[in-house]
Structure 1
Amino acid sequence: MKRLTLATLLLSINGVLLLYYAYAWGSMVYLAFALLSLILAYGVGRENRTAIKVALIYAGIEFFFALLFLIAGNVYSAVDAAITFLILHDIIGYIQEVYREEKEAEGGEKPGDGEDGE
């Protein structure tokens, strides 16, 4: 299974939902965030490190605001909070996996490291 498929799919769904909001309410702000979500979905799907970092920050901020709106009584924000939580979960899992692979590759190249100071 390809890594980050869930985050790519959910960022695309988020972008389409924001496109709908932009069309329904005629808001350029929703259009800007919809395009950002779709561009990030493309970058995350190609496993671009910069796009992954930006998507992580974007999803974290969006999750925070979705929780605030949910606390304020907007029940529909639960969908947005769930989507962004799953995006965050997938990206953080990917980062942990990549970090583990890099540590194993680094440990395999230097067998003398950590042994009696040799």
Structure 2
Amino acid sequence: MKRLTLATLLLSINGVLLLYYAYAWGSFVYLSFALLSLSLAYGVGRENRTAIKVALIYAGISFFFALLFLIAGNLLSAVDTAINFFILHDILGYVQEVYREESESRKEEEEKAD
């Protein structure tokens, strides 16, 4: 199974939802965030490190604001909160896995050098 498939899928769903909001309300702000989300989905799918870092920050900020809206009583933001939570979970799991692999390869290189 390819890594970051869930994050790629959820970023794409988030982008499509934002495209719907942009169409329904005629807002260029939603359109810009939809394009950002779709471009991040492409970058995360290709496992570009810069795109992964930006997607992690974007999903974190979006999760924070969606959680605030949910606390304020907007029940429809529960979907956005869940999407962003699972994006964060998948990306952080990927970062942990890559860090573990890199530290193991460094240990092997150090053992070979000694």
TM value normalised by structure 1: 0.94
Number of equivalenced pairs: 114
SS in 2 for 1:80: helix
TM value normalised by structure 2: 0.98
- Which runs of at least 4 in structure 1 moved beyond 3 Å after TM superposition? none
Map 1:20-59 onto structure 2 (within 5 A): 20-59=20-59
d(CA) in 2 for partners of 1:111, 1:61? 41
Q: Match of 1:11?
A: 11
Structure 2: gaps (5+ residues): none
RMSD between aligned residues: 1.2
Letter in 1 for 2:15: G
Letter in 2 for 1:12: S
Letter in 2 for 1:22: A
SS in 1 for 2:65: helix
d(CA) in 1 for partners of 2:81, 2:32? 20
Bigger Rg, which one: 1
Show CA shifts across 1:74-99 (max 9, x none).
00000000000000000000000000
d(CA) in 1 for partners of 2:112, 2:48? 33
